[in-house]
């Protein structure tokens, strides 16, 4: 921005390599008081480098300020609304963090003897019981590390059950509105994917489904509410169709934020499902983990669950490894324990009525956003929706502005973008999930920003097409960044940068 004065706080941060000056260091060590050892002799030539060229030489304060400045450039849920659809980016109450940091829990070691781990085992047992009650299922494993991992575990359970009946079968049916992890999971578990087209309302086409299900079909993977935020009205019938042919129904429960306390998958016929504890049950996520993909099953799948399983002996717990039908371990130890502690703390802090209220608020907020924007953006599948709403860029595309452009412009207004171009059945999708933790004022500010962008598209589409404008870095070439990433710093590149 020509003419604009940049202070040392808002300037573009240089790389540590660019700050380097020879001889600077960020540590001071006392005089060596033992004989010096040659590193090659001590470690072996294969473990040492002859030289490290251009390694940055900087002082302690330069390192501290560099990383502190960078840390303030992040956008996170603690800064403002994070409306990514399908992700349930809700605010995570600090009390859950506090509980997960209790010394005995944070420092518990999985190799501790069972006699010293009874409290941790009790937490796992109580969380399993709470999630079974919330989902209406019979048993829960907390081993899987994330949603997609839960899917894989669940489909392997289906395979194991069918195998025990003599034939694992060949195909899994997946609706075209599904998350990309669903077909990937089915393929990893050795199944062919049969694609099922949605109806004009965005629902499973029950007649088409009935025509597809035969003795080759192992199961259906269904997301409910689906990725359009619409509840599958015929879910009972859908389950009956599969069950009548000896097939099973897997539910992707990533959208349970719309159901908790209101409707239970176990009651509408689901055989196996996963929950994203890091979405619905308030573990911070988005930075790559850790997460937890709890898997809940009906009785007929229980013998196949990953081992070990908790076993009660009078007053105490033990781990039961003697599970001959188990699919085996899916993860080291017992899952991401810290995430499990947060989830139980969240459930207990809310209680039944509190969880139900959170769900109702999530539905109300999503419908409030939908109402606020439906005069400005195309809504291909009419509401009411559940916890999220999906618009398309059809109106703006006529002026050459696509969903990615609108998302980038939203950054200028101080919001994290919504989910861009997913679900795939909506071309140019804008998928928005506000969650229950947002106030009316925050939602109003978001709606106003989205309306302002829609008006800008009418008056100055180029402004939106070239956004963002207020950020340190303007629009980056994402394709080149993905295809030809430059991951190694070279002094030559810094020199050429200084020249241009
Ligand atoms: C997030 C999500 C997943 C995958 O969960 P991860 O924890 O990211 O592996 C699967 N399905 C749906 C619908 C999701 O939203």
Position in ligand 1 atom list of the atom nearest CA 178: 13
pLDDT computed for residue 11 by the predictor: 57
CA 302, 303, 304, 306 dihedral sign is positive
By DSSP bridging, strand 272-274 and strand 316-320 are unpaired
C-alpha count within 13 angstroms, C-beta hemisphere, residue 446: 27
Q: Is 272 exposed, middle or buried (0-12, 13-18, 19+ CB in 10 A)?
A: buried
Ordered structural domains, the chain, with CATH: 16-71 (no CATH), 94-349 (3.40.640.10), 358-483 (3.90.1150.10)
Position in ligand 1 atom list of the atom nearest CA 149: 9
* Ligand 1 site-directed mutation target among 144, 155, 232, 252, most atoms within 8 Å of CB: 252
Name the closest-CA residue to atom 3, ligand 1. 147
C-alpha count within 13 angstroms, C-beta hemisphere, residue 207: 1
Name the closest-CA residue to atom 8, ligand 1. 147
Under a CB-based contact definition with an 8 Å cutoff, are residues 131 and 140 in contact? yes
Ligand 1 centroid to 431 CA: how many Å?
14
Distance, in Å, from the CA atom of 355 to the CA atom of 262, rounded to the nearest integer, reads 9
* Ligand 1 site-directed mutation target among 147, 183, 224, most atoms within 8 Å of CB: 147
pLDDT computed for residue 491 by the predictor: 56
Angle of the 147-164 helix axis to the 181-188 helix axis, nearest 10: 40
Nearest residue to 337 via CA among 77, 15, 106, 84:
106
- Token pair 């188990």 is at which residue? 326
pTM of the model: 0.89
* Ligand 1 site-directed mutation target among 85, 274, 276, 277, most atoms within 8 Å of CB: 276
By DSSP bridging, strand 295-297 and strand 272-274 are antiparallel
Nearest residue to 121 via CA among 344, 271, 401:
344
Distance, in Å, from the CA atom of 292 to the CA atom of 308, rounded to the nearest integer, reads 17
Distance, in Å, from the CA atom of 253 to the CA atom of 132, rounded to the nearest integer, reads 13
Ligand 1 centroid to 272 CA: how many Å?
16
Ligand 1 centroid to 147 CA: how many Å?
5
Retrieve residue 181's tokens. Answer: 């992890």
Ligand 1 centroid to 291 CA: how many Å?
11
How big is the chain, counted in residues? 500
Ligand 1 centroid to 265 CA: how many Å?
17
Ligand 1 centroid to 12 CA: how many Å?
34
Distance, in Å, from the CA atom of 158 to the CA atom of 140, rounded to the nearest integer, reads 15
Nearest residue to 253 via CA among 132, 354, 162:
132
Under a CB-based contact definition with an 8 Å cutoff, are residues 173 and 162 in contact? no
* Ligand 1 site-directed mutation target among 254, 289, 339, 432, most atoms within 8 Å of CB: 254
Distance, in Å, from the CA atom of 373 to the CA atom of 454, rounded to the nearest integer, reads 10
- Ordered alpha helix ranges (H), 79-140: 94-100, 103-106, 118-135
Ligand 1 centroid to 87 CA: how many Å?
7
pLDDT computed for residue 285 by the predictor: 86
Residues within a 6 A CB radius of ligand 1: 86, 146-148, 179, 181, 223, 227, 252, 254, 276, 291, 293
Radius of gyration of the chain (CA): 26
Ligand 1 centroid to 438 CA: how many Å?
22
What are the residues facing 168 on neighbouring strands?
none
- Token pair 């071309």 is at which residue? 427
Position in ligand 1 atom list of the atom nearest CA 181: 10
pLDDT lower than 70: segments of the chain: 1-11, 288, 489-500
Beta strands in 160-202 (DSSP E): 171-175, 192-196
pLDDT computed for residue 481 by the predictor: 86
| CA 60-62-67 angle, 5° bins | 100
Under a CB-based contact definition with an 8 Å cutoff, are residues 475 and 404 in contact? no
Name the closest-CA residue to atom 7, ligand 1. 147
Ligand 1 centroid to 196 CA: how many Å?
20
Ligand 1 centroid to 155 CA: how many Å?
15
Ligand 1 centroid to 34 CA: how many Å?
55
Name the closest-CA residue to atom 6, ligand 1. 147
Ligand 1 centroid to 348 CA: how many Å?
24
Name the closest-CA residue to atom 14, ligand 1. 254
- Token pair 């269904």 is at which residue? 222
pLDDT computed for residue 2 by the predictor: 47
Position in ligand 1 atom list of the atom nearest CA 227: 13
10 Å Cβ neighbour count for 10?
A: 12
Kindly report the backbone phi and psi dihedral angles of residue 337, in degrees, each rounded to the nearest multiple of 5, phi listed first: -60, -40
Nearest residue to 256 via CA among 248, 244, 266, 242:
266
10 Å Cβ neighbour count for 342?
A: 27
Query: Is 32 strand, coil or helix?
Result: coil
Q: Which helix (H) or strand (E) holds 274?
A: strand 272-274
CA 108, 110, 115, 120 dihedral sign is positive
Position in ligand 1 atom list of the atom nearest CA 146: 7
Name the closest-CA residue to atom 4, ligand 1. 147
- Ordered alpha helix ranges (H), 256-376: 277-280, 337-373
Retrieve residue 385's tokens. Answer: 């929706």
């Amino acid at each position: 921005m020509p003419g604009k004065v940049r202070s040392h706080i808002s300037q573009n941060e240089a790389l540590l390599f660019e700050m380097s000056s020879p001889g600077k260091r960020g540590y001071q060590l006392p005089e060596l008081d033992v004989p010096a050892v040659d590193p090659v002799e001590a470690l072996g030539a294969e473990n040492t480098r002859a030289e490290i060229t251009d390694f940055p030489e900087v002082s302690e304060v330069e390192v501290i300020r560099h990383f502190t400045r960078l840390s303030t450039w992040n956008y996170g849920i603690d800064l403002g609304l994070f409306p990514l659809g399908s992700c349930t980016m809700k605010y995570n109450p600090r009390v859950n963090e506090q509980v997960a940091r209790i010394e005995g829990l944070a420092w518990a070691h999985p190799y501790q003897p069972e006699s010293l781990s009874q409290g941790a085992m009790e937490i796992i047992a109580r969380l399993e019981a709470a999630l079974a009650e919330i989902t209406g299922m019979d048993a829960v494993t907390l081993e899987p590390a994330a949603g997609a991992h839960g899917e894989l575990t669940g489909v392997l359970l289906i395979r194991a059950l069918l195998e025990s009946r003599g034939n694992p079968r060949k195909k899994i049916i997946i609706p075209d509105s599904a998350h990309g992890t669903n077909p990937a999971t089915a393929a990893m578990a050795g199944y062919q994917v049969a694609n099922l087209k949605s109806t004009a309302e965005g629902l499973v086409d029950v007649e088409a489904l009935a025509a597809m299900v035969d003795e080759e079909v192992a199961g259906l993977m269904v997301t409910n509410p689906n990725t359009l935020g619409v509840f599958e009205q015929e879910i009972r019938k859908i389950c009956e169709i599969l069950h009548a042919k000896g097939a099973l129904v897997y539910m992707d429960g990533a959208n349970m934020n719309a159901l908790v306390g209101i409707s239970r998958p176990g009651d509408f016929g689901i055989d196996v499902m996963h929950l994203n504890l890091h979405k619905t049950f308030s573990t911070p996520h988005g930075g790559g983990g850790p997460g937890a993909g709890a898997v809940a099953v009906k009785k007929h799948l229980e013998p196949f669950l990953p081992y070990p399983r908790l076993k009660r002996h009078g007053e105490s717990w033990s781990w039961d490894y003697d599970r001959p039908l188990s699919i085996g371990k899916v993860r080291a130890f017992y899952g991401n324990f810290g995430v499990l502690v947060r989830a139980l703390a969240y459930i207990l802090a809310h209680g039944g009525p509190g969880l139900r209220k959170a769900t109702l608020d999530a539905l109300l907020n999503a419908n409030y956003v939908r109402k606020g924007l439906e005069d400005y953006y195309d809504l291909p599948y009419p509401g009411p929706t559940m916890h999220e709403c999906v618009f398309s860029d059809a109106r703006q595309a006529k002026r050459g502005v696509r969903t990615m452009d609108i998302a980038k412009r939203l950054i200028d207004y101080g919001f994290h973008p919504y989910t861009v171009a997913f679900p795939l059945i909506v071309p140019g999708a804008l998928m928005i999930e506000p969650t229950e933790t947002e106030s009316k004022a925050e939602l109003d500010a978001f709606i106003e920003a989205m309306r302002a962008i829609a008006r800008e598209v009418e008056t100055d589409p180029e402004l939106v097409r070239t956004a963002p404008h207020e950020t340190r870095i303007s629009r980056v070439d994402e394709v080149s960044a993905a295809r030809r990433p430059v991951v190694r710093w070279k002094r030559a590149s810094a020199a050429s940068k200084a020249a241009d």
